[in-house]
Structure 1
Amino acid sequence: MIQFEVTVTVEGGLHARPAALLVNRSAQSQAKITLSKGDKQADVRSILGIMTLGVTQGDKLIVSVEGEDEEKVASSLQQFFEQSFESE
């Protein structure tokens, strides 16, 4: 399992559009991906789950990735957060 911390830089936090982008990015992998904010956790494949975390700009999240391609997925997601959800 790989875990890393990210800071949300997207204006408005993880509202519907960025949550959908994150779900779409994560759907390309079979790895189990979880976002954690404080004591709350959400499966990254669930838009509703992500939105119920109440993530705002500046919040820090822990991203956990577990599976066969976890290194590739973790790197891709970390870059996605660093680029404020802009595509490569």
Structure 2
Amino acid sequence: MTTQKVTIKNRAGIHARPAALIAQTANRFSSEILIEREDTRINAKSIMGIITMAASYNSVLTICAAGPDETDAVGAIVALFDNKFEED
């Protein structure tokens, strides 16, 4: 399993557009990909699951992936967070 912590850097937090980008990116990989926030774990391939996390600016999340392309999957999703979902 590959894991990495990320911090939400875009001021609006995770809303519909970033959730869609995360889910679209996650769906390109065959690995199981989860996003953890405190005691909550959601499937990164589910837009609705991501939105219901209500993750705001400066929230710390953990991206976890398990499967044949787990390293690439985590890297691709972390890149979205690092680029602030191209919003700022």
Q: TM-score, normalised by structure 2?
A: 0.91
Alignment correspondent of 2:15? 15
Equivalent in the alignment of 2:65: 65
Query: Separation in 2 of the partners of 1:54 and 1:75?
Result: 22
Identity among equivalent pairs (%)? 29
Aligned residues: 86
Structure 1: how far apart are the matches of 2:46 and 2:73?
A: 17
Amino acid in structure 2 at the alignment position of 1:4? Q
Residue by residue, what CA displacement relative to the aligned partner does 1:16-66 show, whole Å, maximum 9, x if unpaired?
A: 111001111111101101001100111011111111111001100011011
For the aligned residues, what is the CA RMSD?
A: 1.0
Query: Would you identify which runs of 4 or more consecutive aligned residues in structure 1 move more than 3 Å?
Result: none
Q: 2: CA distance between counterparts of 1:79 and 1:7? A: 11
Structure 1 unaligned segments of length 5 or more: list them.
none
Match of 1:39 in 2: 39
Structure 2 gap segments, 5+ residues each: none
